[in-house]
Amino acid sequence: VEVNARTNNQWTPLIHAARKGHIKVVQALLADPRVEVNARTNDQWTPLIHAAENGHVEVVQALLADPRVEVNARTNNQWTPLIHAARKGHIKVVQALLADPRVEVNARTKAQWTPLIHAAAVGHIKVVQALLAHPQVNSNARTMGLRGKTALKFAMTAGHTAIVQALLSHKPREDRDAKASF
């Protein structure tokens, strides 16, 4: 059996199982030492990115337990598993990823959006709170462009009052990117 057989788009059985949340299939595949845990589709999505995007916390945990997994794998647009989970509001997945010391809490997309900016812009308060609790989070990171916006600016613009309050009460770490309040 070709455990890493690929479709025309480079999907493997592990990628399919992770995307669908089939934990028992994922576990069976991970038990085979031949499986490519970081297999990539044409657009550079890995099994972990698919599981995070779709909120499959058990699959995420199983993949994180494998020391070979790339926790900060990036898609063509530089989105990581944490960015996908934060944007979708998958709090349990976010918590699982944040518990891994390898995770880049301030990972940035091509447009310089961080997980915190995504969660604040969309209105996922629990995700924002979990990210703010991480000691390395940069709450003043800015998006790309002359008018780069922070998580606070996005939350204010969208009227996410609870997120605005959480951000205002956060004590940001000293960071060279922290130049403005919003």
Residue 15 corresponds to which amino acid?
Answer: I
The distance in angstroms from the start CA to the end CA of the chain is 55
Q: What is the DSSP letter of 100?
A: S
Torsion of CA 39, 42, 44, 50, to 10 degrees: -70
For residue 175, what pLDDT band results from cuts at 50, 70 and 90?
very low
Residue 174 has pLDDT above 90, yes or no: no
Instruction: Name 86's Cβ contacts closer than 8 Å, sequence gap at least 6.
Output: 94, 115, 116, 118, 119, 124, 127, 131
- pLDDT tier at 181 (50, 70, 90 boundaries)? very low
* pLDDT tens-digit map of 42-87: 999 999 999 999 999 999 999 999 999 999 999 999 999 999 999 9
State the average pLDDT over residues 103-109. 97
Q: Give the pTM.
A: 0.92
